[in-house]
Amino acid sequence: MTVSGTRGLWPRTGIAGYALAIGSPHTTRPLIETLGEELFVSDCGRVDLDSPTTVQVETHVAFLLGQDLGDSAGVLEAAAAIYPALRITEPAGSGRAPLRTRHIVLGSASRTLARVGFDDMLVTVKSNGVILAAGEPADMWRPPVEALAWFAAEQAQDRNVLRRGTVVLSGSLHTPVAARPGDHVRGDLMGVGSVCVSLG
């Protein structure tokens, strides 16, 4: 896939990034999921599901790192661009198994951190034109920049460095919504942009 405004940072091979899976605003410690490059699809594209099953969709802020990030102190300098993103998930197994990522959709337009105000950002997600969820980043686990700083600090404790070109999803900005084949889902992040996907 091609993402605009990345200045040679994308595409990458192997591990493309990570998602912070928070599930609800009451989460105290998110699950961290590694994202392979094959999970990423282009903005407003179509993804085919294996069966007529219901999936869940989340809207995230996606950070693209323009330089290596080894601790929480360098977040503002390391984040080269941010994108609106949709995370499409399904249960990893039967019962109460955790959700796994089926696809990540990145919006085609990017912004720099200096041009985005997270304090008053409004997020909405629609399915077939109907609003299913709305909220503000402050309603969930942590604001996006704080979430990225937390993740960088966690990685630093294990002596891991987040490499240039890595994409980090901040955690859902609203309670996940259900979607099924035939739905057209769109997420709007005020001041950042929109991202959409059609489910087949």
Residues linked to residue 197 through DSSP beta bridges, in sequence order: 45, 185
Q: Please name the amino acid found at residue 66.
A: G
Residue 80: domain span: 15-199
Kindly state whether residue 186 falls inside one of the protein's structural domains. yes
Omega before 11 cis (within 30°)? Answer: yes
The domain that contains 22 carries what CATH number?
3.90.850.10
Q: According to the model, what pLDDT value does residue 152 have?
A: 95
Q: According to the model, what pLDDT value does residue 3 have?
A: 44
- Per residue of the chain (200 residues), give pLDDT as tens: 444 444 445 444 455 899 998 755 556 778 899 999 889 998 999 999 876 678 999 999 999 999 999 998 889 899 999 999 999 998 765 555 567 899 999 998 788 887 777 777 889 999 999 999 998 766 677 888 889 999 999 999 999 999 999 999 999 888 889 999 999 999 999 989 999 999 99
Kindly state whether residue 116 falls inside one of the protein's structural domains. yes
Residues linked to residue 87 through DSSP beta bridges, in sequence order: 58, 104
Q: According to the model, what pLDDT value does residue 54 have?
A: 84
Kindly state whether residue 2 falls inside one of the protein's structural domains. no
Tell me whether residue 107 is exposed, middle or buried, using C-beta atoms within 10 angstroms of its C-beta: 0 to 12, 13 to 18, 19 or more. Answer: buried
Spatial distance between the Cα atoms of 21 and 2, rounded to a whole number of angstroms: 25
Spatial distance between the Cα atoms of 167 and 67, rounded to a whole number of angstroms: 11
Is residue 135 within 8 Å of 141, Cβ to Cβ? no
DSSP assignment of 32-83, as one string?
Answer: EEEEEGGGEE-TTEEE--SSS--EEEEEEEEEEESS-B-SGGGHHHHEEEEE
Kindly state whether residue 1 falls inside one of the protein's structural domains. no
Kindly state whether residue 9 falls inside one of the protein's structural domains. no
Q: How many domains does the chain have?
A: 1
Q: According to the model, what pLDDT value does residue 138 have?
A: 64
Q: According to the model, what pLDDT value does residue 127 have?
A: 97
Is residue 2 within 8 Å of 109, Cβ to Cβ? no
